[in-house]
Amino acid sequence: MKSKKRVILSLSIFLVVFLVGVAGYWYFGGGPQFNTPNTPRWSLLDCVYMTIITIGTIGYGEVHGPLNDSARIFTSIYIIFCLVTIAYAMSSITAFIVEGELKNILGRRKMEKEIRHLKDHFIVCGSDETAETVIHELLLTKKKFIVVANCKEDTEALPAVGGFPYVQGDPTDDDILIKAGIERAKGILLSLATDEANLFATISARSLNPQIRIVTKALDVRSHKKIFKAGADSVISPTFIGGMRMVSEMIRPAATTFLDLMLRERARVLRVDEITLPSGSPLDGLTIAESRIGEKTGALLVALRPGGKKDFAFNPKPETVLREGDILVFIASPDMAQELAALAGAA
């Protein structure tokens, strides 16, 4: 930003120097006190032209014959000021380009254009360790998302900055959420510094998009009910999750290790994922055996929840018939999940 201010300042100085040149030549070339009977009065165009060729150091002759001594003194001093101004402007512009600010401005405009065209994406609000984990996971699973953080320093502290679009501003501000495309978003994840901030952001998100799925972090368990009433679909407590993890490490270490490998492995990303069979799905009316999900995509179907019901059928039988609205829960890589979505007509 400092380089940008230098560029603006240098351009402003250059404009002032240009106007001083025009005024000076108007005075020396057009003033009656310097006019001679054989020298015509300079027009404004003559003064502008003389200023331009002086700044450009082109070396053309004077507009109306040789300059008088006063005009020559003015021109000599004026050329020195021009050279200094041009040198300062060039150094400021060079610094502006070298320091990457021009690239950042152009990149920001490209990012804003990308955000305007996003649809069915996720919005991540916050810049703490929880938000960082969320961003890592969305990057690994190749999901479309936008990060909303209070300032540029917050976004720069996040992983792979530049690898995802972001909006600077307060996530509790309606205008900032609209800028992040909340009206077109599929879900929003809130990981702000306080439960109060998460509560306000939940209210804003629900009012701007009644259909959006809202997942909120809550530090105090007593805040859960209030955040649910504000419109959150799910409230996550880091302390509760941490306690459950400690117990799991103690009583089921092998299962915990397996899940850790799924989450931490970088060479092969595997996740427990889900898909809802849409209207007109090619799988509607087929049995699981007939759909050949595992054979065609490599995904492992582990559970099925029939449309409109709350209970899951774990390890569903091959003769189970798939219907519109069914939710399939499976283990797969991001590429497998995309193949399954295409197979089910939900891409």
More confident residue, 55 or 198: 198
Burial state string for 61-95 with b = 16 or more CB within 10 A and e = fewer than 16: ebbbeebeeebeebbeebeeebeebbeebeebbee
Whole-angstrom Cα distance, residue 193 to residue 190? 10
Q: What are phi and psi of 314, to 5 degrees?
A: -80, 140
More confident residue, 288 or 14: 288
Per-residue pLDDT band at 112 (split at 50, 70, 90)? confident
- What's the number of domains the chain is made of? 3
Q: What are the start-end ranges of the E strands in the chain?
A: 122-125, 145-149, 166-168, 187-190, 213-217, 234-236, 271-276, 300-305, 313-314, 327-332
Domain-embedded: residue 224: yes
Q: Are residues 123 and 93 in the same domain?
A: no
More confident residue, 84 or 322: 322
Q: Are residues 151 and 218 in the same domain?
A: yes
Whole-angstrom Cα distance, residue 235 to residue 214? 9
Amino acid in position 121: H
Q: Which of 85-89, 147-151, 227-231 reaches the highest mean pLDDT?
A: 227-231
Predicted pLDDT of residue 214: 95
Q: If you ran DSSP here, which 8-state letter would residue 66 be given?
A: S
Q: Are residues 167 and 69 in the same domain?
A: no
Q: Are residues 69 and 178 in the same domain?
A: no
Predicted pLDDT of residue 36: 53
More confident residue, 64 or 301: 301
On the question of pLDDT at 14 being above 50, the answer is yes
Kindly state the average pLDDT of the residues 181-199. Answer: 92
Q: Of 72, 99, 126, which residue constitutes the final position of a domain?
A: 99
More confident residue, 49 or 33: 49
Which two tokens mark 46? 């003559």
Q: Are residues 293 and 183 in the same domain?
A: no
Contact yes or no for 130/193 (Cβ under 8 A) = no
Question: What is the CATH number for 152?
Answer: 3.40.50.720
Domain-embedded: residue 264: no
Domain-embedded: residue 293: yes
Whole-angstrom Cα distance, residue 92 to residue 281? 60
Q: Are residues 145 and 193 in the same domain?
A: yes
Structural domain containing residue 287:
270-344
Whole-angstrom Cα distance, residue 190 to residue 196? 11
Q: Are residues 291 and 216 in the same domain?
A: no
Predicted pLDDT of residue 311: 87
Q: Are residues 126 and 229 in the same domain?
A: yes
Whole-angstrom Cα distance, residue 26 to residue 34? 11
Contact yes or no for 161/155 (Cβ under 8 A) = yes
Question: What is the CATH number for 288?
Answer: 3.30.70.1450
Q: Of 31, 65, 99, which residue constitutes the final position of a domain?
A: 99
> For 126-130, 201-205, 296-300, which range has the lowest pLDDT when averaged over its residues?
126-130
For the chain, give the percent of residues with pLDDT over 90.
Answer: 28
Domain-embedded: residue 110: no
pTM: 0.58
Domain-embedded: residue 44: yes
Kindly state the average pLDDT of the residues 157-166. Answer: 61
Q: Of 71, 99, 127, which residue constitutes the final position of a domain?
A: 99
Predicted pLDDT of residue 98: 60
Residues whose CB is less than 8 angstroms from the CB of residue 204 and which lie 6 or more positions away in sequence, other chains included: 172, 173, 174, 177
Domain-embedded: residue 243: no
Predicted pLDDT of residue 161: 46
Domain-embedded: residue 194: yes
Q: Are residues 81 and 159 in the same domain?
A: no
Give the C-alpha distances (Å, rounded to integers) separating 141 from 138, 187, 236.
5, 15, 20
Contact yes or no for 6/102 (Cβ under 8 A) = no
Give the C-alpha distances (Å, rounded to integers) separating 239 from 218, 221, 246, 263.
9, 9, 11, 20
Whole-angstrom Cα distance, residue 77 to residue 83? 10
More confident residue, 251 or 46: 251
Q: Are residues 136 and 39 in the same domain?
A: no
Kindly state the average pLDDT of the residues 249-259. Answer: 84
Kindly state the average pLDDT of the residues 184-192. Answer: 93
Which helix H or strand E contains 206, and what residues bound it?
A: helix 195-208
Predicted pLDDT of residue 102: 55
pLDDT one-digit tens code per residue, 47-103 = 888 888 887 777 666 666 666 677 777 778 878 878 888 787 777 777 666 655 555
Per-residue pLDDT band at 211 (split at 50, 70, 90)? very high
Domain-embedded: residue 248: no
Question: What is the CATH number for 45?
Answer: 1.10.287.70
Q: Are residues 231 and 148 in the same domain?
A: yes
Closest CA to 158 of 178, 131, 140: 131
Q: Are residues 220 and 282 in the same domain?
A: no
Predicted pLDDT of residue 266: 62
Per-residue pLDDT band at 267 (split at 50, 70, 90)? low
